[in-house]
Amino acid sequence: MSAMDYDNDELIFLEDDGSTDEHVVLGKDWNVLIVDDDEEIHTVTRLALADLVVNDRKLNFIHAYSAKQAKELLHEYGSTIAIILLDVVMETDDAGFEVVKYIREDMNLLEPRIILRTGQPGYAPEEQVIKLYDINDYKTKTELTRAKLLTTIISSLRSYQQIVTISQNRTGLEKIIASSANLFEEHSVKAFCEGVVTQISSLIGLDSEGLLCARAGSLIDREDEDVYVLGAAGEYAKFINKPIQELNSAEIAENIARCLRLKKHIFEHNFSVLFISRAGFEAAVFVRQTHEINELDKHLLEVFLSSISVGYENVNLFHELRNAAFRDWLTRLPNRNEFINMLDKPHIFACEDCCVALIDVNHFSDINDGLGQEVGNDLLRAISDRFLSSFDDSVKKGRIGADVFGLIGPEAVVNPESINELFSSTFVVEDHTLPVNVTIGFCRLDKKRNIGIEILKRTNIALNRAKKNLTDNYEFYAKDIEDQTTWRLDMIRRLRSDFAARKLELWFQPQVDLLNEQVVGMEALLRWPDGNGGFISPAVFVPLAEYSGLIVDIGEWVLEEACSRLQKLKELGYGHLRVAVNISIPQFRDRLFVEKVKLALSTAECDPSLLELEITESVVMDEPQIVIDALRALKEHGVQIAIDDFGTGFSSMSYLQQLPLDRLKVDRSFVKDVKPGASAVLAETIVTLGNKLGLLTIAEGVEKREQASYMIKLGCDEAQGFLYAKPMPFAELLAFLESQK
Ligand code: C2E
Ligand code: CA
Ligand code: CA
């Protein structure tokens, strides 16, 4: 339905600005279409405009929550919609612009006035610490719209009314609308102003000779009150952005000044000066003509000017919205949205060997909590400033999260060394001198992959890996990391459920006296059935269990199971055999660990000296004091302690000497090579060291007879390996022990 076939039940007399005196046929209320995916914005807008009455008519709100729905409603209401308040970012970053195009091009719907808005805010300071990237801050949006909403709505309604009026009478309409629609597409002030001049000239059938001038203070970032040429066509084009004096035309300068002073149009026989006034912006358009402008043309110009001033406001609004949607409020750097947009098209900055970095400020929340948010904000600004002053424009900068910055640029610049260099000196904020440490994730861009959000995700994966990296503060993204991450998460999930379903098994590998080959004990080793008759190696899943913390519960079960097997062995006449159990670092961090070991022993009524705990050197080094304290307590209880994989870690002897050890397990890599050589020398050293410390030594991974002989020669006491027996289920162990009798 268009305005023209709308019910002819009410005639409205326009008298607001004297520019028209036609009777116009319109509906009872002004239809205002609100398009926004945010329910809150609908409510807020409705509340803000609820009492507005323009020309004795109230507003009737129509609500759409997506671009798709907006299109449907547009078909239903057509040009009876006076104003469309349109959210820019909905289903997609530019869903709103798509709707604009659809209205003007596909539907050829020219009457409704369009006001763009967006719901992408900066971060509210108090929400900064919340590490959410996309927070819809309604206040910000309300602030942005509220101040402008009323004036914009009123002037847009006026403009809509004029257009509808004209559309019933004038043939020039299409041209006007097309002109302002064209202008609407222009997103820069310069292009807009040029467009205005061109459109005016063509409207009144003139050559494109004219210029638009405005006072600097009102528009461009200059502080003087001079009048500048903002847009021009024809011979004046070269004066754009110059002060009007440079035209060397007293006639133009004087008349423009007069127009701006009188705030009125001036029509002379060979030129006109048209006055544009809008929300503090005042401009004059000087047009040269060969004949005096007739009344009809004057009228057309009037309408056009009123409609372009809305267009101008749109241009301005568009800029503001773009800033709100794509700039970080604190540092003015591009925000996450804009950073993703930049990543979508890295080729634009012609970056060879382009690299993306995410830089996370370590312990930023401590600064915020300890020194206050103001200092926190200042620090973020100082960091942003350092990026800006250290890296030129070839490096794009952004603030991606509360304390996460982003860089895109050539790897020659965007690399661990130069970024770390940047943070090697302290930051001075107010009275504080703050050293700042960062963690950095990198992702190299290749020519093919340029989906911004994907690249950001990858860089973030690298950043998370970097946080776990113990030696460096950075990590580069590699595809396998991502696959690995997915795979790891899946394995952990399965391990958790299989453990809960009691599917894990504990197998045992005999340990023998090297000299007489009598079984002296066994090592308990976890087995995880893969469901196809095979087993997933503990070398694979134990690290995952450690990573996920699952090892604490699994380890507790291993201890219980081992102790109950010890009890069974005693019953069967093997009361002299010990069982060795592997213990991981997260178990030591469990405050109840010592108690749990004691409980497992007492529940199964086991002699504590038959339980041996195996710990690797890295476990000791990880948290020496916790481990030393726990082991001392357990040693006092009678439990035995062995150092596993000895020789592969880099233990500090001072720690080892503090441990209440019973046994050194010589790692299999030293046992393997019995011919004279480096590893054999090490095997000898380890055994000698063990002997000197008064410890027993056991050789791991003995597979061959000559390895056993060699270890005997070195003075090693015990052995474990395939030569004697492989790890086996408990039932098989019993049969094995039986056969050895
Ligand atoms: P580990 O403590 O060094 O265990 C010895 C590993 O060497 C076992 O591998 C065993 O099957 C293997 N092995 C024994 N004799 C030979 C031999 O002659 N030749 C060769 N090539 N290998 C031999 P497994 O059972 O796959 O266990 C791997 C690792 O998983 C263990 O290394 C241990 O670090 C960890 N693990 C196993 N069970 C547990 C557990 O209950 N708790 C914890 N925290 N870790 C466990
Ligand atoms: Ca072990
Ligand atoms: Ca070992």
- pLDDT per position as a tens digit, 167-177: 444 434 444 44
pLDDT for the residue 280: 59
701 lines ligand 1 (CB under 6 A): yes
pLDDT for the residue 146: 59
Q: Which fold has domain 206-326?
A: Beta-Lactamase (3.30.450)
Superfamily of domain 30-164: Response regulator (3.40.50.2300)
**What is the number of the ligand closest to the CA of 720?**
1
Task: Indicate whether 241 pLDDT > 60.
Answer: yes
Q: What percent of the chain has pLDDT over 70?
A: 75
pLDDT for the residue 496: 96
Q: How far is the CA of 599 from the centre of ligand 2 (A)?
A: 22
Q: How far is the CA of 264 from the centre of ligand 3 (A)?
A: 94
Q: How far is the CA of 644 from the centre of ligand 3 (A)?
A: 5
13 lines ligand 1 (CB under 6 A): no
**In the predicted model, what is the mean pLDDT of residues 438-445?**
94
* Higher-confidence position of 173 and 324: 324
**What is the number of the ligand closest to the CA of 580?**
2
- Residue 134's pLDDT band (boundaries 50, 70, 90)? very low
542 lines ligand 1 (CB under 6 A): yes
pLDDT for the residue 274: 85
CA-nearest residue for atom 7, ligand 1, is: 701
Q: How far is the CA of 468 from the centre of ligand 1 (A)?
A: 25
560 lines ligand 1 (CB under 6 A): no
**In the predicted model, what is the mean pLDDT of residues 697-720?**
95
**In the predicted model, what is the mean pLDDT of residues 708-715?**
93
pLDDT for the residue 680: 67
Give yes or no for a contact between 643 and 616, defined as CB atoms under 8 angstroms apart: yes
Output DSSP code: residue 246.
Answer: G
* Higher-confidence position of 721 and 645: 721
Task: Indicate whether 232 pLDDT > 80.
Answer: no
Q: How far is the CA of 482 from the centre of ligand 3 (A)?
A: 30
Amino acid, single-letter form, for residue 670 = F
498 lines ligand 1 (CB under 6 A): no
Q: How far is the CA of 523 from the centre of ligand 1 (A)?
A: 9
Most confident segment among 70-84, 93-107, 713-727: 713-727
Q: How far is the CA of 731 from the centre of ligand 2 (A)?
A: 21
Angle 577-645-530 from CA coordinates, rounded to 5°:
75
* Separation of alpha carbons 390 and 388, rounded Å: 6
584 lines ligand 1 (CB under 6 A): yes
Q: Which of 19-33, 129-143, 504-518, 684-698 has the lowest mean pLDDT?
A: 129-143
Give yes or no for a contact between 28 and 10, defined as CB atoms under 8 angstroms apart: yes
Task: Indicate whether 583 pLDDT > 50.
Answer: yes
556 lines ligand 1 (CB under 6 A): no
Task: Indicate whether 604 pLDDT > 90.
Answer: yes
**In the predicted model, what is the mean pLDDT of residues 6-11?**
29
Domain residue ranges in the chain: 30-164, 206-326, 346-477, 492-739
Q: How far is the CA of 524 from the centre of ligand 1 (A)?
A: 9
Task: Indicate whether 312 pLDDT > 70.
Answer: no
- Residue 617's pLDDT band (boundaries 50, 70, 90)? confident
DSSP assignment string, 266-301: EE-SSEEEEEEEETTEEEEEEEE-SSPPPHHHHHHH
**In the predicted model, what is the mean pLDDT of residues 239-251?**
79
pLDDT for the residue 379: 95
543 lines ligand 1 (CB under 6 A): no
Task: Indicate whether 198 pLDDT > 90.
Answer: no
CATH 2.40.40.20 fits 346-477, yes or no: no
**What is the number of the ligand closest to the CA of 701?**
1
- Residue 316's pLDDT band (boundaries 50, 70, 90)? low
Which atom of ligand 1 sits closest to the CA of residue 526? 38
| DSSP 3-state of 719 | strand
255 lines ligand 1 (CB under 6 A): no
CA-nearest residue for atom 22, ligand 1, is: 701
- Residue 315's pLDDT band (boundaries 50, 70, 90)? low
* Separation of alpha carbons 630 and 323, rounded Å: 58
Give yes or no for a contact between 14 and 301, defined as CB atoms under 8 angstroms apart: no
**What is the number of the ligand closest to the CA of 586?**
1
Report the phi/psi class of residue 28: left, alpha or beta, with left for phi > 0 and alpha for psi in -120 to 50: alpha
Closest CA to 385 of 440, 422, 433: 422
| DSSP 3-state of 487 | helix
Query: Containing H/E element for 37?
Result: none
Task: Indicate whether 664 pLDDT > 60.
Answer: yes
pLDDT for the residue 320: 54
Query: Which of 542, 587, 669, 702 to mutate for ligand 1's pocket (most ligand atoms within 8 Å of CB)?
Result: 542
Most confident segment among 60-69, 135-144, 176-185, 507-516: 507-516
With both helix axes pointing from N to C terminus, report the angle between 39-49 and 138-167 in degrees, rounded to the nearest 10: 60
* Separation of alpha carbons 252 and 271, rounded Å: 9
Q: How far is the CA of 247 from the centre of ligand 1 (A)?
A: 89
525 lines ligand 1 (CB under 6 A): yes
Output the CA torsion sign for 555, 561, 563, 566. Answer: negative
Q: First and final CA of the chain: distance in angstroms?
A: 101
Q: How far is the CA of 580 from the centre of ligand 1 (A)?
A: 11
* Separation of alpha carbons 620 and 654, rounded Å: 11
CA-nearest residue for atom 15, ligand 1, is: 721
Q: What percent of the chain has pLDDT over 90?
A: 40
| DSSP 3-state of 619 | helix
pLDDT for the residue 722: 97
Q: How far is the CA of 700 from the centre of ligand 3 (A)?
A: 6
Q: Which of 4-8, 454-458, 524-528, 550-554 has the lowest mean pLDDT?
A: 4-8
Q: Which CATH number fits domain 492-739: 3.40.50.740, 3.40.1550.10, 3.20.20.450, 3.30.2350.10?
A: 3.20.20.450
Q: How far is the CA of 720 from the centre of ligand 3 (A)?
A: 10
Output DSSP code: residue 201.
Answer: H
Report pLDDT digits (tens) over 453-479.
888 988 999 999 899 887 889 999 987
376 lines ligand 1 (CB under 6 A): no
pLDDT for the residue 310: 59
Task: Indicate whether 640 pLDDT > 90.
Answer: yes
Query: Containing H/E element for 185?
Result: helix 173-185
Most confident segment among 186-200, 331-345, 569-583: 569-583
Instruction: Decide: residue 309, CB within 10 A, 0-12 exposed, 13-18 middle, 19+ buried.
Output: buried
CA-nearest residue for atom 45, ligand 1, is: 582
- Residue 597's pLDDT band (boundaries 50, 70, 90)? very high
C-alpha pair distances (Å), 478 with each of 442, 483, 618: 9, 9, 27
510 lines ligand 1 (CB under 6 A): no
* Separation of alpha carbons 413 and 391, rounded Å: 8
- Residue 2's pLDDT band (boundaries 50, 70, 90)? very low
Most confident segment among 38-42, 120-124, 732-736: 732-736
**In the predicted model, what is the mean pLDDT of residues 165-194?**
51
487 lines ligand 1 (CB under 6 A): no
302 lines ligand 1 (CB under 6 A): no
In sequence order, what E strands does 383-542 have?
396-401, 404-410, 427-429, 432-434, 438-444, 474-476, 505-513, 519-529, 535-536
Q: How far is the CA of 695 from the centre of ligand 3 (A)?
A: 17
Quick one: tokens of 503?
């599917």
* Separation of alpha carbons 671 and 690, rounded Å: 15
Output DSSP code: residue 363.
Answer: T
C-alpha pair distances (Å), 197 with each of 172, 193, 229, 310, 562: 17, 7, 11, 16, 90
| DSSP 3-state of 501 | coil
**In the predicted model, what is the mean pLDDT of residues 279-298?**
72
- What are 334's strand-pairing partners? 327
Q: Which of 144-148, 265-269, 277-281, 456-460 has the lowest mean pLDDT?
A: 144-148
Pairing of the two strands 696-699 and 663-666: parallel
Q: How far is the CA of 343 from the centre of ligand 3 (A)?
A: 47
558 lines ligand 1 (CB under 6 A): yes
* Separation of alpha carbons 70 and 94, rounded Å: 14
664 lines ligand 1 (CB under 6 A): no
Report the phi/psi class of residue 460: left, alpha or beta, with left for phi > 0 and alpha for psi in -120 to 50: alpha
Query: Which of 525, 542, 552, 561 to mutate for ligand 1's pocket (most ligand atoms within 8 Å of CB)?
Result: 525
pLDDT for the residue 166: 54
**What is the number of the ligand closest to the CA of 619?**
1
Average pLDDT, the chain: 80
721 lines ligand 1 (CB under 6 A): yes
Angle 733-738-740 from CA coordinates, rounded to 5°:
95
Most confident segment among 212-226, 363-377, 386-400, 553-567: 553-567
